Structure 1
Amino acid sequence: MAEGATCEDCVPSVEGQTLQSKVPSPKPQDPLDASTFVPPSPLPSPSVTIEFCDRCRWLHRATWVSTELFLTFPTPALKAISILPLNSEETGGRFCVWLFLGGQPPVLVWDRKIEGSFPELKVLKQRIRDHIQPGKSLGHSDHK
């Protein structure tokens, strides 16, 4: 997209006019005035949370997995991915992938300690797909 161009999907138009001009603009956000801050809402569904042991230095692996999931399941299939570093004795060695579906209990999609290894992306993608888009083909990463 050319610099300065507006995404047509983000700014709908009606007969040459953008709807953006008809919607009142919210109070401008001042980066130094906390009263203008807009807090994030709870994560939309479906979403994924990746918990990882920060003491084990697994941030890079968690961000790589999240990137792969976003590339495979772009919005609206997957609306959010959060990365949650853990740094305590009780969470040592943890690498868990949770799937949150609105109104249902979270699904533990992968646990490094239970599975005995880090997630193989092919298997992880299949497990998530089976919950959020059962008919979706994952191409070469699909079941044989």
Structure 2
Amino acid sequence: MKKFKITVEYCPKCKWMLRAAWIAQELLITFEEEIDEISLKPSGISGIFRLYVDDKVAFDRKENGGFAEPKRYKQLIRDHVNPLKSLGHSEH
């Protein structure tokens, strides 16, 4: 089974490191079988908050009108790494 690299890119000027670390932790817990590596990437671009699967953007705060709930991040990552995986209570 292929394992994926997840990157959480965030704006340090906006003080979003804790949010990025929290989302990374949530993804690690949910996708421990599917993730090979997860990294936090401080961005030089103001206002950035993006999730990548390998090198593909899975979520972009600016394109999606703001931050999402952890449930939404999990659904988006799931769609890339294991579309058949049930997310239990996060599914609804």
- Normalised to the residue count of structure 1, the TM-score between the two structures is 0.59
Task: List structure 1 runs of 4+ shifted beyond 3 angstroms.
Answer: none
Q: Which has the larger radius of gyration?
A: 1
Out of 1, 5, 28, the position equivalent to 1:70 is 28
Matches within 5 A, 1:80-95: 80-87=37-44, 91-95=45-49
Amino acid at match of 2:28: F
Structure 2 unpaired stretches of 5+: none
Amino acid at match of 1:79: D
Alignment partner of 1:133 is 2:82: yes
Deviation by residue 1:89-134 (Cα, 9 ceiling, x = unmatched): xx1000011111xxxxx22111111111113211111111112111
Q: For 1:60 and 1:119, how far apart are their aligned partners in 2? A: 15
Partner of 2:66: 117
Cα deviation for residue 45 of structure 1 reads: 4.2
Out of 46, 50, 58, the position equivalent to 1:96 is 50
* Helix, strand or coil at the partner of 2:14: coil
What percentage of residue pairs aligned between the two structures are identical?
41
Q: For 1:94 and 1:45, how far apart are their aligned partners in 2? A: 25
RMSD: 1.5
Higher relative contact order (CA 8 A, sep 6+): 2
Q: For 1:58 and 1:125, how far apart are their aligned partners in 2? A: 18
Contact 2:3 2:34 in 1 (8 A): no
Q: For 1:54 and 1:96, how far apart are their aligned partners in 2? A: 13
- Normalised to the residue count of structure 2, the TM-score between the two structures is 0.90
Matches within 5 A, 1:41-56: 45-56=3-14
Structure 1 unpaired stretches of 5+: 1-43, 101-105
* Helix, strand or coil at the partner of 1:128: helix
Q: For 2:84 and 2:69, how far apart are their aligned partners in 1? A: 21
